[in-house]
Structure 1
Amino acid sequence: MSILVTGGAGYIGSHTCVELLNAGYEIVVVDNLSNSSSESLSRVKELTGKDFEFYPINLLHRQDLESVFKRHSIEAVIHLAGLKAVGESVSLPLRYYHNNISGSIVLYELMQEHGVKNIVFSSSATVYGTSGSVPITEDSPLGATNAYGRTKLMIEEMMRDLHVSDPTWSIALLRYFNPIGAHSSGRLGEDPNGIPNNLMPYITQVAVGALKELQVYGNDYATSDGTGVRDYLHVVDLARGHLKALEKVIATTGVEAYNLGTGQGYSVLEMVKAFERVTGRNVPYKITSRRTGDIGVCYSDPTKAERELGWIAYKGIDEMCLDSWRWQTYNPQGYLAANEVAANL
């Protein structure tokens, strides 16, 4: 029996694949490589010493995905595939609704047809919208402020309805806060296309000289220094959260949401100072206007995940910064250079 990982070549997906393989699971990966690289999967095999099947397909292509279910005995699915940039979702909402929601529907229909009813879904803290109080619990009001978050919220509701229709489904909805960091080897990390949408790869690209300065979106929030506060989580801790959730869905039935975060909030400028302190690199920045869809303060209460999944975040902010910087210095062009070498062979 195998675990199907959709979006397994991506930032979170590749780290999750490493943890799954190291824990003894057999995996099958599907990813259309629209915002990821097959090089990450080559490095997953290198780091773990284990092989697995990879299919470069789009979830919207039903026949292609169906062939994967026919070829493999799937026990459970970890569903990470989807478009993920908040800013882009504001300007291209129909693309996000079509890709994220329609692709998920195709996946769930095929799961249902093939009797696969265990799933860990990659949701997001954006489903909480402008929650009035922090720390945010799983019972906090829901209401996303951008198209990306709304797709996650709609898929969550879809899965709750699916469970109502068939209580034998077992579903974990993982609401990530802000994953950063990289594998300690420096072989896996976040490799954004173009100008990064997330803070840490933006910081590291400025530090390495690929970008001139960090754009800080707003300094008039009700925070200690006016910049936005987020709950930053090491991606390896996040990947471990998927394993804990997988154990839960395989062993039980039901549908539950879990926050995956540290419970600690850091502002943008606090993150810049922490990075400069642990790496010794200067990060020039410029204050610009707020970004549409952003909120001022967002950090988690992760106690439910600890209580029900036995999961906690172990890695602190220094390790997050150092691992991010190691990835950037070892891979100044991300996976691009490796891909170019392969293309010229």
Structure 2
Amino acid sequence: MARILLTGGAGYIGSHTYVALCEAGHEVTILDDFSNSDPDVIDRLTRLTGGTVDLVRGSVLDRAALDGVFAGRGIDGVVHFAALKAVGESVARPLDYFETNIGGLMTLMQAMKAAGVWRIVFSSTATVYGAPAVFPIPETAPLSYTSPYAFTKLTCERILAQAADADPWVTGVLRYFNPVGAHESALIGEDPRGVPDNLMPYMAKVALGELPELQVFGDDYATPDGTAWRDYIHVMDLSRAHVQSMSALLNGRSHVLNIGTGSPVSVLEMHAAYERAIDRALPHRVVGRRAGDVPKLYADPTRAREELGFEARYGLDEMCASSWAWVQAQAKGWRFNS
């Protein structure tokens, strides 16, 4: 068992990974500045794990704060989530994304090097494949970017690879596809601020009556029902992948892996599954294609299975049911500070 620093550990994926790491027996310290997460998540994690959360409130851009985290804790490895992540927002605010995502990794790695901590699991993205031409997408596919967000993630991957040429870094790069769903307790889940960019949280807000309808961007793609294909993965499966990745790093094995199911789901298939979860119709309307969308994006997860023993356990209906349980719980006031 190890002592793990979890940057951005109060966020959506970070909070679920905290639970998974604790269940695996690791000791975990969370670093988060709560710029895109709620402080009441810490109370929820305390309830879920039955232990006090070791929390440091701070930013990965703050070298002094990072040095303080590493001093005296005996950190064995880092799982790095802290980053800005909205594709559309990155187009409007590219400099913020460069500073936080690239600068944050650089500052973190400098602090890690000073402390002699060489293991890091990096939260990457399938958007580093740009507009791929081969499906399912293998890790050997050409890399590209279509947004400042994707550019930052690809740049960070290259920083990690080149740093390992000079120092004894052991790195796990996990290229996520589309994380969805929530913990079975309905105590933690995805709670985006404002209008969501992603499909499932958008549907959830339509189901709650906070948004009038789901807009389906295009039904003339070269897929069976004409709507875009994506690879959705339950957030608890994704969290487990981080535990398995860190285990590999502790055994000295670096890797670059897709984390997805390998089974594409169309927008209309997801819409139908969410209707099953809420047991009623969900208003939707087909509109024109959205600029920048690609017709298909789904993983070849073979290498993750071979190198980590990772396989997704949850299906589409379980993803939707857990999402709906979470948003209903929030609608009923299951908040600590409300």
Q: Normalising by the residue count of structure 1, what TM-score does the alignment of the two structures yield? A: 0.94
Q: Give the corresponding residue for 2:10.
A: 9
Q: 1:126-145 to 2 correspondence within 5 Å? A: 126-145=127-146
State whether residues 26 and 52 of structure 1, in contact with CA within 8 Å, keep that contact through their aligned partners in structure 2. no
Per-residue CA deviations over 1:218-261 (Å, capped at 9, x if unaligned) read 333222222211000000000000000000001114x4211100
The CA RMSD over aligned residues, in Å, is: 1.4
State whether residues 84 and 148 of structure 1, in contact with CA within 8 Å, keep that contact through their aligned partners in structure 2. yes
Pick which of 60-69 and 169-178 moved more.
60-69
Q: 1:188-337 to 2 correspondence within 5 Å? A: 188-253=188-253, 255-332=254-331, 337=335
Amino acid at match of 2:213: E
Q: 1:80-95 to 2 correspondence within 5 Å? A: 80-95=81-96
Amino acid at match of 2:57: P
Amino acid at match of 1:48: T
- Aligned counterparts of 1:18 and 1:334: Cα–Cα separation in 2: 22
Pick which of 85-94 and 303-312 moved more.
85-94
Q: Normalising by the residue count of structure 2, what TM-score does the alignment of the two structures yield? A: 0.96
Amino acid at match of 1:264: S
Q: Secondary structure at the match of 1:271?
A: helix
Q: Give the corresponding residue for 2:99.
A: 98
Give the CA deviation at 1:216.
2.1
Amino acid at match of 1:175: R
Q: Secondary structure at the match of 1:164?
A: coil
- Aligned counterparts of 1:244 and 1:338: Cα–Cα separation in 2: 32
Amino acid at match of 1:273: A
Unaligned runs of 5+ in 2: none
Amino acid at match of 1:199: L
Change beyond 3 A, Cα 1:59–1:334: farther
Q: Secondary structure at the match of 1:33?
A: coil
Give the CA deviation at 1:34.
1.1
Q: 1:129-168 to 2 correspondence within 5 Å? A: 129-166=130-167, 168=168
Give the CA deviation at 1:294.
2.1
Give the CA deviation at 1:46.
0.4
Pick which of 284-293 and 241-250 moved more.
284-293
State whether residues 43 and 336 of structure 2, in contact with CA within 8 Å, keep that contact through their aligned partners in structure 1. no
State whether residues 86 and 293 of structure 1, in contact with CA within 8 Å, keep that contact through their aligned partners in structure 2. no
Q: Secondary structure at the match of 1:238?
A: helix
Change beyond 3 A, Cα 1:60–1:198: same
- Aligned counterparts of 1:75 and 1:330: Cα–Cα separation in 2: 36
- Aligned counterparts of 1:69 and 1:160: Cα–Cα separation in 2: 23
Per-residue CA deviations over 1:243-283 (Å, capped at 9, x if unaligned) read 00000001114x42111000000111110011112331321
State whether residues 3 and 75 of structure 1, in contact with CA within 8 Å, keep that contact through their aligned partners in structure 2. yes
- Aligned counterparts of 2:33 and 2:291: Cα–Cα separation in 1: 28
State whether residues 237 and 313 of structure 1, in contact with CA within 8 Å, keep that contact through their aligned partners in structure 2. yes
Change beyond 3 A, Cα 1:197–1:57: same
Unaligned runs of 5+ in 1: none
Give the CA deviation at 1:32.
1.2
State whether residues 96 and 148 of structure 1, in contact with CA within 8 Å, keep that contact through their aligned partners in structure 2. yes
- Aligned counterparts of 1:296 and 1:181: Cα–Cα separation in 2: 23
Q: Secondary structure at the match of 2:121?
A: strand
- Aligned counterparts of 2:333 and 2:18: Cα–Cα separation in 1: 19
Q: Secondary structure at the match of 1:197?
A: coil
State whether residues 213 and 283 of structure 1, in contact with CA within 8 Å, keep that contact through their aligned partners in structure 2. yes
Per-residue CA deviations over 1:58-95 (Å, capped at 9, x if unaligned) read 11111122211114211000001100011111221111
- Aligned counterparts of 1:81 and 1:241: Cα–Cα separation in 2: 17
State whether residues 174 and 256 of structure 2, in contact with CA within 8 Å, keep that contact through their aligned partners in structure 1. yes
Q: Give the corresponding residue for 2:336.
A: 338
Q: Secondary structure at the match of 1:219?
A: coil
Q: Give the corresponding residue for 1:21.
A: 22
State whether residues 229 and 265 of structure 2, in contact with CA within 8 Å, keep that contact through their aligned partners in structure 1. yes
Amino acid at match of 2:98: Y
- Aligned counterparts of 2:280 and 2:155: Cα–Cα separation in 1: 41
Amino acid at match of 2:251: A
Q: Secondary structure at the match of 1:174?
A: strand
Per-residue CA deviations over 1:283-342 (Å, capped at 9, x if unaligned) read 11123333333211000010100001011000000100100000011112888x533x3x
Q: Give the corresponding residue for 1:35.
A: 36
Determine what percentage of the aligned residue pairs are the same residue.
47
Change beyond 3 A, Cα 1:236–1:334: farther
State whether residues 215 and 286 of structure 1, in contact with CA within 8 Å, keep that contact through their aligned partners in structure 2. yes
State whether residues 207 and 278 of structure 2, in contact with CA within 8 Å, keep that contact through their aligned partners in structure 1. no
